[in-house]
Amino acid sequence: MKMTEPVGDTLYAPFFLRLALGSYFVLAGLAKLDDPGAFVLEVQRFGILPEQFATVYAILLPYLEILSGGMLLCGMWTTLAAIITTLLLGSFIYAFGFFPPKANLFNKDVILLAVSVSIMFSGAGAFSVDRFRKQG
């Protein structure tokens, strides 16, 4: 085995990225649905959007996260799901900043954005509805 060659089939890389990102978004969306009123107030407190837009954003966000995360987990309409997660992560980075204010080393959303963009460019990979539909 050469150290310049991949260890395995490159078809599996997007699969592992999809599982990680999809799981993250499904769990994040479900957590926000525990107390939607509190989440709406939290988004409004940021003061980035006008109150009405902040309310709509906060109401739709958990459902978009669950939907796009589920699509990633299934590998169904993967490019669309990756575009949605890329836009969501871009909005999170805008809201929280590139570097977090606390003692954290780095904003995790930047890393997740890189994963999302990677999936957007690579496609669904192995074990996906998209691949099954393409190959039959």
The full set of domain ranges for the chain reads: 12-135
What are the contacts of 12-15 at 24+ separation with CB within 8 A?
12/125, 12/126, 13/122, 13/125, 14/78, 14/118, 14/119, 14/122, 14/123, 14/124, 14/125, 14/126, 15/75, 15/124, 15/125, 15/126, 15/127, 15/128
pTM for the model stands at: 0.90
pLDDT along the chain (136 residues), means of 10: 83 95 98 94 92 95 98 97 97 85 78 96 94 87
Q: What is the pLDDT of residue 8?
A: 83
* pLDDT tens per residue, range 45-81: 989 999 999 999 999 999 999 999 999 999 999 999 9
Q: What is the pLDDT of residue 115?
A: 97
Evaluate whether 68 touches 18 at the Cβ level (below 8 Å): no
